[in-house]
Copies of this chain bind each other. A is one copy, B any other.
Amino acid sequence: MKIAIAQLDYHVGNFELNTSKIIESIKKAKSEQADLVLFAELAICGYPPRDFLEFNDFISLCDQAINEIASHCIGIAAIVGGPHVNPSAKGKDLFNAAYFLKDGTIAKVIHKTLLPNYDVFDEYRYFEPNRVFECIELNGSKIALTICEDLWNVSGKWNGIAGQARNDGKSLYIDNPMDHLILEKPDIAVNIAASPFSYTHDEARTKVLQKNASTYNIPFFYVNHTGAQTELIFDGCSTVVNPEGNVWKMAPFKEDLQYFELDNIKKGIDSQVYDKNNKYELIYNALVIGISDYFNKLGFKKAVLGMSGGIDSAVVLALAVKALGKENVLPVLLPSPYSSEGSKLHSLEMIKNLGTDHQIIPIEKGMLAYDEMLSKVFEGKAADLTEENIQARIRGGILMAMTNKLNLILLNTSNKSEIAVGYSTLYGDSIGAISVLGDVYKTEVYALATYINSVQGNCIPLSIIQKAPSAELRPGQKDADSLPPYDILDPILFQYIELRQGPKEIIAQGYDPTLVYRICKLVNMSEYKRFQAPPILRVSDKSFGFGRRLPIVAKYLG
């Protein structure tokens, strides 16, 4: 049996595009004499469709697309993910389904059993879990067909909370679909997935597949999405594993169509040495595709961003140039009287390195205008944080005016550390259509800058990497005046955010109690700012945004 895996970049709700991509891959696979071609979970509509699933009209469009695709499955079979209406009068309206298409029709529909409902996942919001287990058959071979999470309930660290570092031997679900399917003695197992990227996730995914293949003693064929859907990035890395643990891995972060002869898989022929990738190479590739897919799928071309002379905007500029091309990125310097000459020179040096256009728009006139407009109401009050925020908001206003007039999209340049503790101005530097570094801690931004310099011709001047971080909103200001050094701050934030350790548990690791409480409180008290933040490209196991849901009016540690 020859199995094709089609790893594609779908677009949520774009039925025309998704259907034509799927049909094209079916035709190609057929011309290569494949018996079966695999497409990802909810490939029909893209992942995640979210509340579009609550529209009957949207579901009808999915059904139409499935039927059109089925009509092309003659002389080849296909497995395609899509929603499936629950015919029962009890339970949720839909199943998350894998359609088995052959002989021009829908031969079988298999439903997902384990519905992830943690972090960024909301699947129990829409889907009824499967309770009936049955293999499908193709050319005399039995296939155990499951969907994504169905494989993740293997005990140990990777127990459904991907990368969450739970090592307590617990499993998130009480059932294991493969335990039922294996009773039919299937020949192979197929898993269609929508498994978003984090920098730990491909390693976890590979181990989960290997564990399944050895536990059930059959080869697994696993297909994933690639490309970005707003904040969620899919890294592809579709994988084949055999019971001996041999691995075949498809391309990361791009579309790919590969063919696998079952006999070769069983024998381990042409398997790869699987090695964990470099963290910053992964993050770099993820952010680049995150930016480019945001623009491509919405039909935008050109980005604008504010250049402060600091490391964050420098890294975003480099990533944007890689993603969109230097002719499509416009860095803007917005100096105030507090901006250092160095900041301006370093930014211009970097802009020269990358060869982009640029603008310089001093904001002092805006500052004076605000001073005048507010002179009566602020009479007798000393200057404070207000005037710093005004500068940030004038910059925001100018950048947004440029997006309006010049049809540009504003890239946000905030990093995860400052978003965590609220070290930003709401409606000022916190704005933008998409946050590029919002899931990258400041210490990681530095490491990413070093990686960028290794692959983008040292475009980031060392002066930018080496200077002390500063918002430059008052004379001589440094981040270190308000925050602990980032190499102390970031590990505490990681414990609190990624690992959900409370202050007591963090202090028990040897951190200063006063500092730990102060930081955890700052994180909680900044929830109102994050509520209004742009979508953040997700690269870690716990990003701010959809995957982390906290109340604003709350008192815990606040």
A362/B369 in contact, CB under 8 A: no
Residues of chain B with a CB closer than 8 A to A118's CB: 125
Q: List residues of chain B with CB within 8 A of the CB of A11.
A: 553-555
Q: Are B427 and A401 in contact (CB under 8 A)?
A: no
Q: Identify the closest chain B residue to A374 (Cβ).
A: B401
A462 CA to B546 CA, complexed, in Å: 43
The contact size tier of chain A is 35 or more
Instruction: Report A425 CB to chain B, min CB distance, Å.
Output: 9
Q: Are A405 and B384 also in contact (CB < 8 A) when A52-B554, A372-B365, A397-B370 are?
A: yes
Residues of B within 8 A of A228 (CB): 553
Give per-residue flags for A385-403: 1 if the beta carbon is below 8 A from chain B beta carbons, else 0. 1100110011011101110
Contacts of A501 in B (CB 8 A): 55, 57
**Is the CB–CB distance between A400 and B427 below 8 Å?**
yes
Stretch in A65-73, A179-187, A484-492, A528-536 with 4+ CB within 8 Å of B: A528-536
Are B377 and A366 in contact (CB-based, < 8 A)? no
A13's contact among B402, B505, B548, B558, by CB below 8 Å, is which? B558
Is A433 close to B, CB under 8 A? Answer: yes
Asked whether A550 is an interface residue with its Cβ less than 8 Å from the other chain, the reply is yes
Interchain CB contact under 8 A, B426 and A548: no
A340 at the interface (CB under 8 A from B): no
Known A12-B555, A297-B553, A401-B370; contact A396-B52, beta-carbon cutoff 8 A: no
| CB < 8 Å neighbour of A172 from B52, B92, B406, B504 | B92
Q: Is the Cβ of A396 less than 8 Å from the Cβ of B427?
A: yes
Segment from A19-27, A43-51, A211-219, A268-276 that makes contact with B: A43-51
**Least Cβ–Cβ distance between A48 and chain B, in angstroms:** 7
Q: Which residues of B contact A373 (CB under 8 A)?
A: 361-363, 365-366, 398
Does the CB pair A361–B389 fall under 8 Å? no
* A405 and B393 form a contact (CB under 8 A): no
Residues of B within 8 A of A386 (CB): 401, 404-405
Question: For residue A93, which residues in chain B have a CB less than 8 angstroms away from its CB?
Answer: 170
Docked CA distance A174–B54 (Å) = 19
23 A-B pairs, CB-CB below 8 angstroms?
Answer: A12-B554, A14-B556, A15-B555, A17-B555, A48-B551, A51-B500, A52-B554, A56-B505, A57-B502, A90-B171, A229-B551, A229-B553, A229-B554, A297-B553, A369-B369, A370-B398, A374-B398, A374-B401, A378-B405, A396-B427, A433-B528, A532-B532, A532-B533
Chain A residues packing against B (C-beta within 8 Å): 11-15, 17, 46, 48-52, 54-58, 61, 88-93, 117-118, 122, 124-125, 169-174, 228-230, 293-294, 297-298, 359, 361-363, 365-366, 368-370, 372-374, 376-378, 381, 384-386, 389-390, 393-394, 396-398, 400-402, 404-406, 426-427, 431, 433, 500-505, 528, 531-535, 546, 548-558
> Beyond A56-B502, A58-B556, A374-B405: 13 further Cβ-contacts under 8 Å?
A12-B553, A49-B551, A50-B549, A228-B553, A359-B376, A359-B377, A361-B374, A384-B405, A389-B404, A393-B397, A393-B400, A433-B528, A531-B535
